[in-house]
Each structure stands twice: as structure tokens, then as C-alpha cells.
A and B are shown apart, each in its own frame.
Chain A
């Protein structure tokens, strides 16, 4: 008769010999996980990203995060239009979680009893159980902890996915991004290492705010009251707002993103529901992982990149000229009229070789 220990050892031997028997292998790995180092990470609100190593330092570990779900009214434009918002950790989008390939991401999801709705989380980076959605349902007053192994590198959306109400939760703000970096860091198409000096995380959301009979945006006392009207607008598929980081103008003015000439900036752009096409006016994407998955070589020198609804992409750019840059969804109606515009202010020396105004505007010569 085998002891449990002998069975495990036997399984390990068998796995080593035949590289098979996944059930036993999984058991062995579970035992290993308990021995892994654990790291607790405090999340920061977008467009910033918590501190992280670009090249993994040491072996795999378990990285612990906690997010509290906050349902709250959120003003989404300068007119005071109010969304009955649902958020991961209070921000739209939810904060970015960064781990390395082979790490375990362990999330504790808290649904305070002050909330109205049950929630859960579907990680596009995770495998099985509807991305974890089936194992993370929490009612107001409950919390749950889920662990998944980061087996694929890239930027991945996460979002709330409660049965019957998935799109409503997503377009009310409940989406965010996980970034799984290769252990050895990012590589260009030749396999050479590339690094970023700064990272910004832009989450794009579209909102569907109901209007009253006079065309004014309606305000609601609760999520429940807003549901029917909101669903009707959603079914028309025409958003009333398309914004970065939860609000028109959230990344402009004193909240504009900053960089210096010569700095390499990584911009992660996520959209959990609808296609978009980021463009940096006056700049480019030096290396762009349009689909966001780092196992694929990056595209080079892009003018505009395509982010499929339900995915996150990453673009790397080294600023070459100083100035004020607009970073937009290049459906310019959505950028200018509906809100999807951010700014970068970039300090540094001007390069006349790259651009010069040879003749200032003047009257057209008459001869």
C-alpha cells in the first residue's frame, strides 16, 4: 500500500520520466506553491502602475493583490453627467496588476455590504472557470480569494461577469488590466531586450447614459433604478461618452501624462467591450503589441494601432521632440466630441532636422 507521500514521489518520478499524468502533476505543483515566496503588492490608480521589475528577479512567486469593489456615482464629464458607476478598487479602469510568466496571481476580491450588487471577476489571463468568474461570485458583505497561474505573457483585460448582467457591469466601469511580463523582460522582433523608462495605463470605456424627454442626461438614486433605461441605450450600441480613465479630461491639464525627450514610454491601452484605435498625434508606436501578447514579435513604426474590444495592447515609444501631444482614439468624433483624448507634455530640446517651419504663414505672393 502506497502512502500519500510515496504516491506523490512516484508521480513526480513518473512525470519526470514520461512528462505526463497532469492530475498528479497538478497535485505536486500545489504542494510546491505553498513553498513559493509570496509578495504583497499595493495597487495604485491608473494611469500609474505599481512598481515592478521588468526582468524577473529570482524564481516564480505568488503575488498577492486585494481589490475592493466600490459602487458609486461618478461624474464623467464637465457638464456634471453622472454615471451610476461600478468599479474595481474605486477607479475606472480598475488598477493594473503586473506579474511575471510563471508567477501566481492571487487576488482577494472584497464586496462590501454597502454595495447593492453581487460581483465577480473574469481574468482573460487565466485558464478555466470562465476566467475565474465561476469561482469568484461575491455578494455584498462577502470576499473571495482566487489564485491563477500566469502561463501566457502579455496585457490582458479583466472584468466583472455576473450571469445575465455582464455587459452592464462592464460598461458601468468594471474592467481593468493584468500585465504578465516575460521573466527575461520584453524583446523586440530580433529578440533583443527592450525596456521602458515609464509606463502609463490608459483604460478606455464607453458609457451609455439615458436621457430624459428634453434630451438631458438622467440621474438615478441607485444602480437598480438606472438599469432598465441604461440597457435600452446600450442596445442601441451608440455610446454617449467614450473616455479614457473614466471621465472626459481625466488625462489632460494638470493630469496630463508627462515625459522627456529621449525617454521610452510604454502605453498600455485596454478596452473591455468595444474596438478602438489609439494614435499619438505627432508621434508613433516604435514597437506595438497590438494584441498585447508578448510571445508575438511587436509590430514596428505604427501610426495607429488597433485594440480589439475585450483586449489590451501595449505600445512602446521613445519621444524625439518636445511639445504637447494628444493621445487619442483616432475615431476623431469619439476623441473630440465624446471625450477620448489624453495629453502628454514632453520637455526637451527641439530637433530642427526632424521638423522645421521653413516659412511662417504669410500672404500668398502676388506675382
Chain B
């Protein structure tokens, strides 16, 4: 079982990275810590099985239907950032020239806001490089898993009438009105919205989060179960928070990126998941050891 052993060592090394940085911070003081990228606090959401309304727009017999639900299995623990990426963390990426400055609001330990899907992707790339790990945006399903009881899918119409499409428009408008959600534009310090049952903080607060899932328009087969056709538009991605919605990749302010009717996200931000280390090659392992050595003892 040589491969498994290496995997274990790899995980231990990853944990050591965080530990080593913490130790250096403590011994060398804050001056040195500026140069380093501390590992984000993560939560490991246990594997699970849940019923999930799929994202996108669904049509059957030429008219809109509610999103079909499917059983989603998350088979490995999902390691996701406990908090949304903070403004300070993001600004480190900006200062190194790897990220564009955000149109952020607020100050202190607030989540970064005013970031597009493209900004979130750039940050994930930089952060992966900086940590030597693989960090990426969660998929819609992963986000729903981590959000757990705080997950809310699209605000779908309560009524569908084949003879009167306005019933759907009016009933979803009314649903949004009934939610009585007031605009809440100023980001608060991380943790302000508490943690959910999985220990993940600030889910469904006033910062919506980018995911890696593309918008899709799906025509369902007559049985209502399988997709007959599906057209993905990856210029638009799923955004999650108080409700699930869809935004063009370059939008940083959900209020002006939306249309005339509909509940706009107060802010756009993100958090990342850490890809579970797959079986490591010997070369990877050696590279990691070299990097660790460099970090601990200098070049």
C-alpha cells in the first residue's frame, strides 16, 4: 500500500504547513508574518446524502417547470473555508499583483466584496500557488452541502399556469415581497452571521458567494426526470446566499448586474474549498518537502 502511505504523509505535510507558519509568526513576530500566507481556517463537512433542487432553468412541454430534485452524494469530507475570504486576505493577492483590486465595502475583518467570478478565480489560482495546495470555488452541490439547513434554492414561482404565464411572474414577485428581506449592503465582520450546523460561518448573510457551477437551460424529457437537452452558459455562474441566483462572470455588484425585477444580492464574495490531496507521486512529495524546508529554514 505505498500509495496510501504517501497520501497520509502528504496530509500530515499539509497540516505541518499551517503549524509551521503559526510557529514562525509566534517566534518572528508580525513583521515576518506579513510576507507569509497563513492557511485559512477550514471546516471538514462530513460526507452526506441530500435532496437538492438543481440549478438553472427548466422547461417541459414548452413551459417553465420547477427545478427537478436529485439525490446528491458527497462521498468525501468536504474541506471548505469556515469564513468567506476576507478583505485583508484578498488584498494580499492584490498587493502581489495577482488579483485586481476589489470594489470592496467596509473595513476591519470583513469578507471581501465587490468581486466578480473572474476575481474569485484569480484569487483561487494565486492562493493555490501561495500555499502549494489546490484551492478552488465550490460547486453548487458542494456549497449546498456545506450550507446545510441554511441553503435556499432559487425563489421559484408558487403558481404555474400553462394558459397564463403571468401567474408565474406574479407569484414569484409576491414570494420575494413576502420574504420581506430588506437590503443590507454593509459587510459585517466575519462571523457576524453565526455558524450553521456544520460549523460553517456566515452562510446566507449579506454576502452572496460565487460557485464554479455554470448556468444551464435544461429541457426535460416527457417523464420529467431526465434532461432531453441542456445548454450550458459558462459566461454566467451560480451565486449562493440568502437565495440562489445567477450572475455574469464579470459582475462585481449584484444590484446593477440583475434585471429590473428580482431580489438582488447585497454583495458578491466567495470562499474556497481545499481539494483533498489525491494520491501523491513521489515527485510531488519531494517537491512539497523541499518547499517546507524552504519555508522553515529559508532558501
Contact = CB atoms under 8 A, between A and B. Distances in A.
Nearest to B59: A360
Interface string A338-367: 000101011111101000010111110000
A212 interface: no
A347 B171 CA distance: 10
Interface string B247-265: 0000000011000110000
Interface string A176-193: 000000000000000000
B231 interface: yes
Contacts of A254: 177, 180
B166 A322 contact: yes
Contacts of A253: 176-177
A252 to B, nearest CB: 8
B165 A350 contact: yes
A229 B62 CA distance: 56
Contact of A324 (B63, B173, B219): B173
Interface of A is mostly: loop
B260 A281 contact: yes
A349 B256 CA distance: 32
A78 B177 contact: no
Interface residues on A, range: 20 to 34
Interface string B162-175: 01111101100110
Interface in A298-328: 321-324, 326, 328
Interface in A204-256: 253-254, 256
A164 interface: no
A80 interface: yes
A79 interface: yes
B182 to A, nearest CB: 8
Interface residues of B, number: 26
B165 A357 contact: yes
B247 to A, nearest CB: 15
- Give the residue among B164, B174, B260 with the most A Cβ atoms within 10 A: B260
A336 to B, nearest CB: 7
Contact of B256 (A328, A337, A357): A337
A326 B261 contact: yes
Interface string B145-177: 000000000000000000111110110011011
Contact of A336 (B59, B170, B174, B260): B260
Contacts of B59: 360-362
Contacts of A362: 59, 219, 229
B166 A80 contact: no
A323 B170 contact: yes
Given A79-B185, A361-B217, A328 B166 contact: no
Contacts of B176: 253
Given A78-B255, A79-B185, A336-B260, A323 B169 contact: yes
A170 B183 CA distance: 28
Given A78-B185, A324-B173, A362-B229, A336 B164 contact: no
Interface in B186-225: 186, 217, 219
A362 B167 CA distance: 22
Given A253-B176, A321-B166, A349-B164, A336 B256 contact: yes
Contacts of B62: 357, 359-360
Contacts of B63: 357, 360
A130 to B, nearest CB: 40
Contacts of A345: 170, 173-174
B221 to A, nearest CB: 13
Contacts of B174: 345
Contacts of B163: 349-350, 352
Most chain B C-beta atoms within 10 Å of own C-beta, residue among A253, A321, A335: A253
A346 B185 contact: no
Given A79-B185, A361-B59, A350 B166 contact: yes
Given A322-B166, A360-B59, A362-B219, A341 B260 contact: yes
Contacts of A328: 260
A253 B177 CA distance: 5
A322 B170 contact: yes
**Interface-central residue, B63, B163, B217, B261, by most chain A CB under 10 Å:** B261
B59 to A, nearest CB: 5
B289 to A, nearest CB: 46
Given A359-B62, A363-B229, A350 B164 contact: yes
Interface of B: 59, 62-63, 163-167, 169-170, 173-174, 176-177, 180, 183, 185-186, 217, 219, 229, 231, 255-256, 260-261
Given A347-B170, A348-B166, A349-B163, 13 more contacts: A79-B186, A321-B166, A324-B169, A324-B170, A341-B260, A343-B173, A343-B260, A345-B170, A350-B165, A360-B63, A362-B59, A362-B229, A363-B229
